[in-house]
Amino acid sequence: MTREKIRAIIVEVISQILPDEDLSNLRGDIRIRDQIELDSMDFLDIIMELRKRYGIEVPEDDYIQLATLDGAVAYLEPRMTHL
Amino acid sequence: MRGGHDIPSSTRKEAGPIEKSHDSRVVITGIGLSAPNGNNLSEYRHNLLAGKASIEKIETHYMGEVLAGVCHFDPLKYQKKKELRRGTRAGSIAIYCANEAVADSRLDIAGLDKSRVGVYLGITEHGNVETENEVFGLKQYNYDVKYWSHHHNPRTVANNPAGEVTMNMGITGPHYTLGAACAAGNIGLIHGLQMLLLGEIDLALGGGVSESIHTFGVFASFKNEGALASHDNPNRACRPFDRDRNGIVVSEGGCVCTLERLSDALRRSATIYGEIVGYAINSDAFDFILPHAQRQAECVRLALKKAGLSPADIDIISSHATGTQQGDLQECLALAEVFKDAPQTHTNNTKSYIGHTMGAAGALELAGNLPSFNDHTVHPTINIDNLDPRCTVPNLVINHPANVDRIDHIMNNSFGMLGINSVVIVRRYEGR
């Protein structure tokens, strides 16, 4: 799966979790939490969606790597190559 | 079969002077509600007087089609989409009703000391919906619990509906629910009154909510008890006191009232729907599901005693009857005994329109009757084709509204499983 596709999937997942947020200007290099109202339970929703949709397990120690959109794409790319 | 009729008021006992101080009297100053046939008091009352029921067929897990009362309020009026997704249906109903109640009371919520506001909501049950849905969804993952939602705990804690109200409205006073089966709506009001009289708070948001139509278990359990109503026409299914009644119609709903000490209400020139002058809660100590006429009668008498009233002072009995053979009969026995010398007292029933709104029923059914203080009309119980001759309640108003000269006192009954009984008596407020 391409990086662009992975980025689009992450944004789409966030849009379902935070339907009130405008994600059109979401920057990849700034912490997602600093741009939109995303709390810890919302973050766990992202983790759960990755598990349910793609069977991807993100260990708690790796959560920090998903703090930004760019970081999330980089983390997920090798784990989604087969998709 | 008896129908609606007019009763002269020449011999009635009018509301007498009250000796309590204004600080020790509690009044209803705002009502927010959602019922299957109305999302505010005006619409609800209009439909009760018009005989308009609102029961529909819905799909539920495992059971397929069932009859239910469904609320159609706009949840986005007071909640963001994220809040809706995060919370529960009971929380959403509670938030809608609480905001509507405060708006109706014309209280300046921004100017309130929100640490002095208490939220007390009656519930029949809470958490079944979320648990059932999680288990249902888990099936596709072969019951692997790593797919179990991290939202399950905050959604299922028993204080959830009340807690969601406080978060939505920024209320920092106490909040909790009162689990009291189908007596809970009354008990939310009673508890609000008690906290006001104790001085714990200055404003109570009291009432009850129910989301129970979203759990198959409630339907399945009633069905297996032989207590789930069925009828080709959903709006004819709930028929308390009819000879051929065959059970309960489960509904969702909510009703929250703003309760204030009379002194506070007068200080801000609030509109007063009525004063809660009597109440009682007792227990059958008898059976898990079967009601007990003697204990119900004792509860009614205790509420009358607290109010300083005799049975003949009650103008409307808002009955609890749900449409089951045994339940309706037990309440009729209790009322016939207590009110045998009260020829002017009328009885009606609201479940015949909206089904059984469970934890909301007490508050919602009381609210539907409160406008009668001003419109002098008793809404009927509908869906009676053949009155059960054993249901000898006082002046049952059947199928058509009854006009009366004056209404001073409404008594609202709500009874529940495990033998919990509750009665609330509201007096028309006359400005004194």
Structural domain range at position A23: 3-79
List chain A residues with pLDDT less than 70: none
pTM, full prediction: 0.95
Backbone angles phi, psi at B56, to 5 degrees: -135, 170
B5 pLDDT above the threshold of 90: no
CB-based contact B150 A52, cutoff 8 Å: no
pLDDT in tens, B343-374: 999 999 999 999 999 999 999 999 999 999 99
Cα radius of gyration rounded to whole Å, chain B: 20
Instruction: State the pLDDT confidence band at B6, using cuts at 50, 70 and 90.
Output: very low
User: A34 to chain B nearest CA, in Å?
Assistant: 18
User: B81 to chain A nearest CA, in Å?
Assistant: 6
- CA terminus-to-terminus distance, chain A: 6
The domains located in chain B, with CATH, are: 25-267 (3.40.47.10), 278-427 (3.40.47.10)
Best of B85, B140, B146, B151 to disrupt the A interface by mutation (most A CBs within 10 Å)? Answer: B85
DSSP letter string, B74-86: -GGGT--HHHHHH
CB-based contact B85 A19, cutoff 8 Å: yes
The pLDDT value recorded for residue B109 is 84
Which position among B320, B346, B379, B409 bears the catalytic label?
B320
CB-based contact A48 B80, cutoff 8 Å: no
Asked about B356 being catalytic, the answer comes back as yes
Best of A15, A39, A41 to disrupt the B interface by mutation (most B CBs within 10 Å)? Answer: A41
Instruction: State the pLDDT confidence band at B432, using cuts at 50, 70 and 90.
Output: confident
B270 or B8, which is more confident?
B270
The pLDDT value recorded for residue B19 is 67
CATH number for position A66: 1.10.1200.10
Write out chain B residues lying below 8 Å of A37, CB-based: 82
The pairing of beta strand B203-210 with beta strand B117-123: parallel
Domains held by chain A: number: 1
The C-alpha angle with vertex B395 and arms to B331 and B69, in degrees rounded to 5, equals 60
Q: What is the ipTM of this complex?
A: 0.95
The C-alpha angle with vertex B27 and arms to B253 and B313, in degrees rounded to 5, equals 95
